[in-house]
Chains A and B, each alone.
Chain A
Amino acid sequence: MVLKKAKVKAESGGLLLFEKVEDAVRAEEILSEADYTVRLVAPPPTFRMGCDLAIEINLVEQIGIGRLFREKGVNYLKVVPLKGAGRLLDVVKVTEFKDATMVKAGNMKVTFDKNKGTILNVSGGGCPDIPYLSASLIGKKLSDAPRPKDIGFTLCAMMMDRAVVECLELWRKRLTS
């Protein structure tokens, strides 16, 4: 089999890196079958780890791709953005209202009722799963709500998940204080 190893295009946004060539090839097949727009490429030297094959992806879609790989048992090393520091934002900001707490993680904000632990509102974001996730979470107890990382597909969903995790943490602390 001859593998076409194209040059990386910055517009794809991200690369999936693999330990073994066969993992990369299988991953590409699975992603193509699932209608993801991807390409096998030769990773630039600065990103190379494991084998010399990588897959270009739309960086925004990494959460859905990661879930698909877990379901299908595909091994991969990591996802790297083609520009920037390569680290997802991991800090949050907290705003207190009289009876509610709002947690901001990146471009997402999740607000919960301090007394009931219910998700009151979700704001921010711009990817297409956000309105769907908001409708799925609002009105639910933090402890019962689905995790955005389990049902979302995009980086906005990942940021929403970080906010939900922080809300849960704050709510549990409140219950035990």
Chain B
Amino acid sequence: MEEKVNKLMLVCGTVPVKDLPLISGRAVFEGEFLSVNGFKVPCAQGTAAMIGGALSVADCLKLEPPQALVVGDTGRGQGSYLLYEFLIQRVSTLSPDVLVLHYCLPDMTLMRKLCESVRSCAKRPLMIADAASMYAAKAAGLATEFDIFTPDLCEMAFLADPDASHPAYINKHLFEADIAKVPELVAAAYQLKSAARLLLVKGAVDYIAEDGKVVDIVSEPNIPELEAIGGTGDVITGIVSALAYAGLELREAAKTSALVNRMAGKLARPSPATRVWQVISQLPAALEQRRVTC
């Protein structure tokens, strides 16, 4: 891997804390919480779980910690709009090496403006999107501006649906496709230019796809309970982002993140009631088992 000094990984999204202003800073773990600039955010489903996954990997690999950019939003979108506007105006100045976009109100027009701003960066960042940032990118026809998407099976069907602007509107037959149909959905999504350069499809079997084809599959250890635990998919997004930030080839980063997340899940001895921070807390041991080092 390359030596990484003074690089910037910017991890962005909304968190469910009413009236939390837009804040930026290094996140640190405080038990079941993340702390960013002194503001505590529950390390639960959503952006916080994604940041938790990225932070844990960065800590273990002794990387420069990711910079969190978060804002409170409980659904009305005001926080999301602040986040979009900040990034549209500042991304070229910040010039991140890795830009991860996560939970927010999907807005196609603002996503288009953001992608225009990213194009004006002196050095193009590695672009990663999940959750509603991925929905907005696909719906606006901007998927090919991204390097990694991390959909689950339903979201993969959404990417393969030429008409849907949100997973709630996908074609019923695509929703009913089982995990074995992922290669067909992948091919359709690439055909439509609705896929990022690499797709990491999260599910009972994790599929890694590039250029329209599945190039790797990870299916063990198989822990069915992980699907019920809110935030496990977000953690994978954080892990793959941090591993890409560390300099791994995208394909290797995706495979390793799928494996490490499964191992952490196994170590957490989960039930359907397990909380995602309990899985995140096992990431150092999982990385150690996988012998992931810089």
Contacts and interface: CB of A to CB of B under 8 A. Distances in A.
A143 interface: no
A155 interface: yes
Contacts of B167: 89, 106-107, 155-156, 159
Given A128-B14, A134-B45, A107 B228 contact: no
Interface in A91-132: 91, 93, 95, 97, 99-100, 102, 104, 106-107, 109, 111, 113, 120-132
B214 to A, nearest CB: 21
Nearest to A123: B230
A99 B273 CA distance: 10
Interface stretch (B56-64, B133-141, B191-199): B133-141
Contacts, number: 186
B15 interface: yes
The residue in B107, B225, B230 that gathers the most chain A C-beta atoms within 10 A of its C-beta is B230
Nearest to A135: B16
Contact of A107 (B155, B172, B227): B155
Contacts of A113: 273
Contact of B46 (A93, A120, A131, A158): A131
| Range of interface residues on B (Cβ < 8 Å) | 35 or more
Given A83-B163, A123-B229, A130 B273 contact: no
B22 interface: no
B227 A102 contact: yes
Given A11-B109, A85-B171, A102-B228, A134 B75 contact: no
Contacts of A159: 167-168
A88 B15 CA distance: 26
A26 B176 CA distance: 40
Interface in A124-148: 124-135, 138
Contact of A120 (B42, B105, B273): B273
Given A13-B165, A95-B227, A123-B232, A135 B79 contact: no
A157 B166 CA distance: 12
B44 interface: yes
A122 B133 CA distance: 20
Given A128-B16, A134-B44, A123 B75 contact: no
Contact of B168 (A58, A64, A89, A129): A89
B163 A131 contact: no
Contacts of B161: 84
A23 to B, nearest CB: 23
A64 B130 contact: no
Nearest to B171: A85
Do most interface residues of chain A lie in helix, strand or loop, or is the interface mixed? mixed
B133 A126 contact: yes
Contacts of A138: 230
A123 to B, nearest CB: 4
A155 B106 CA distance: 10
> Chain A contact residues (Cβ within 8 angstroms of B): what range?
35 or more
Interface in A60-84: 60-61, 64, 81-84
B77 interface: yes
B245 interface: no
Contacts of A60: 105-106, 132, 166
A19 B187 CA distance: 43
B200 interface: no
Contacts of B273: 100, 113, 120-121
Given A11-B108, A107-B167, 13 more contacts: A13-B166, A59-B165, A60-B132, A86-B169, A106-B168, A107-B154, A126-B106, A128-B103, A128-B104, A131-B45, A134-B44, A138-B230, A156-B166
30 contacts: A11-B140, A58-B105, A58-B107, A59-B165, A59-B169, A61-B77, A84-B171, A85-B163, A86-B169, A89-B175, A95-B227, A97-B224, A99-B272, A100-B228, A106-B168, A111-B228, A121-B273, A123-B227, A126-B103, A126-B132, A127-B103, A127-B131, A127-B132, A131-B15, A133-B75, A134-B230, A153-B76, A156-B167, A156-B168, A158-B168
Interface of B: 14-16, 42, 44-48, 73-80, 102-109, 112, 130-135, 139-140, 152, 154-155, 158, 161, 163-172, 175-176, 224-225, 227-233, 271-274
Which 6 interchain pairs have the tightest Cβ spacing? A129-B75, A126-B131, A84-B163, A153-B75, A132-B16, A131-B46
